[in-house]
Amino acid sequence: MGSTEELEIGNRRYTRREIVSAFSIFSKTFSEKFPKVRFAIVNSYWDKPSFGDMHIVIAGNKMPDGWPEVIDKAFETNKSSRLSRKKSLESARRNHYSASSMIRKTYSFDMDGLQVDLIPVMDESFEFAVNYLSYGDLGRLMGRVYRRLGVRYGISGLRMYPLRENGKELLKQPVTLTKDHAEALRFGGYDPGRFNQGFNTIEEIFEFVASSPFFNPEAFLNYEPKNDRVRRSLEKRKNYQCFLQWCRDNLHRLNKGPTLLPSSARLRIFQTFPWAREACEEKVKKLEHKPNPRFSGKLIRSVTGAEGPEMGRVAKFAKKEFESEKQFQDWIMSISDEELQEWFEYRHQQYLESKKNERD
């Protein structure tokens, strides 16, 4: 999940018994308001001494638009994300809290002094999200191991990114390999059966992270985030720092898994998920045929002053001299910005003349 600001509703800790009671109260009210929406509390290790808040995953795309306001009224809350101007919810606010705009944006509210964090995810990713978010930092820690395998283990499933010809990842074009959590665990060398047993102590969680044959403590101990925000965030995460110390204390006995070359990692991915190769190639192919950003609305507007549908009509006329969109895109790649500007100004004049002839 993206980082969200703390509401700081209360400053006391809650016992497990209190959290169980609070979840029972939440379940009754939530089920009455949203009877067809799945929800589940995020699991924690059994010996966790206390809780500062309660995390609940909901099938966000099954929620109605504007549901945060319904939540605030149902729980008679006097403080919530909707009222506290959270930066992470600015886009949702602009879209009137539509269900789609709320996906992956944690919504926090006050329930009798306890902060409840609702985490809206896509219904098809619901089980994976609950498993990923359970047991504190377990998902984050495992994610570092999966990165060594060329994949991303996250709230939406197990994913990979296609590579462009220059070797760079298409970060906005992920290919989902699986939403089956057990399958994702096996790919990382983890035992689904052990995960499903749950964990009694934080040390058991650490042992599970290190149980993968691809785990190497140096990948954590030598990790230095380039992003200052990420570095500060990790420094504040108590359990993450505890894990680093646990690695140092047990360095002599921990597995030091191999480092896979990128080519070897991708070969392993395609051997496990054979269809993923074609899916990646298709993503790259679509990018190659994506309209060149130089011939954009900005250029059309600067030359013509056109707005709305008129922009589309001008662009369509300008490209009429080409046999296909591909031919047009190939031609744009072969000319300079100045030549493109001159060509479009000329075609715009022709467009205006054609409109005048139609009127006459």
Number of H helices, E strands in the chain: 18, 7
C-alpha 185/C-alpha 258 separation (Å) is 18
C-alpha 122/C-alpha 261 separation (Å) is 33
C-alpha 321/C-alpha 352 separation (Å) is 16
**Residue 2 confidence (pLDDT):** 39
**pLDDT tens digits for the chain (360 residues)?**
433 445 566 678 999 999 999 999 999 999 999 999 999 999 999 999 999 999 999 999 999 999 999 999 999 998 899 888 777 788 888 888 999 999 999 999 999 999 999 999 999 999 999 999 999 999 999 999 999 999 999 999 999 999 987 778 888 789 999 999 999 999 999 999 999 999 999 999 999 999 999 999 999 999 988 888 888 989 999 999 999 999 999 999 999 999 899 999 999 999 999 999 999 999 888 776 666 677 888 888 888 888 778 888 888 898 988 888 878 877 887 788 888 888 988 889 899 988 888 776
Domains and CATH numbers, the chain: 16-127 (3.30.460), 136-286 (no CATH), 297-359 (no CATH)
C-alpha 284/C-alpha 290 separation (Å) is 10
The residue behind tokens 């983890």 is 190
Read off the pLDDT of residues 166-204 as tens digits, 9 standing for 90 and up.
778 888 789 999 999 999 999 999 999 999 999 999 999
Per this entry, what is the length of the chain? 360
**Residue 7 confidence (pLDDT):** 58
The residue behind tokens 């749950």 is 198
Q: How far is CA 354 from the centre of its chain?
A: 48
C-alpha 217/C-alpha 115 separation (Å) is 34
Residue 227 CA: distances (Å) to CA of 195, 234, 235, 254: 31, 11, 13, 28
C-alpha 132/C-alpha 141 separation (Å) is 10
- The secondary structure of 166-183 as a DSSP string is TS-B-TTS-EEEE--HHH
Residues 6+ apart with CB under 8 A from 50: 13, 14, 15
**Residue 297 confidence (pLDDT):** 82
DSSP assigned state of 299 = H
User: For residues 177 and 151, is the Cβ–Cβ distance under 8 A?
Assistant: yes
Residues 6+ apart with CB under 8 A from 65: 96, 97, 98, 99
Tell me which amino acid residue 204 is. E
User: For residues 260 and 268, is the Cβ–Cβ distance under 8 A?
Assistant: yes
C-alpha 142/C-alpha 185 separation (Å) is 10
Say what angle helices 202-209 and 238-249 make with each other, to 10 degrees.
70
Closest Cα to residue 80, out of 68, 88, 92?
68
Residues 6+ apart with CB under 8 A from 229: 3
**Residue 263 confidence (pLDDT):** 92
**How wide is the angle at C-alpha 180 spanned by C-alphas 203 and 3, nearest 5°?**
60
User: For residues 257 and 146, is the Cβ–Cβ distance under 8 A?
Assistant: no
SS3 label, residue 176: strand
C-alpha 6/C-alpha 3 separation (Å) is 9
DSSP assigned state of 198 = -
Q: In what order do the strands lie in the sheet with 39-41?
A: 39-41, 53-59, 114-121, 107-111
Read off the pLDDT of residues 126-158 as tens digits, 9 standing for 90 and up.
999 999 999 999 999 999 999 999 999 999 999
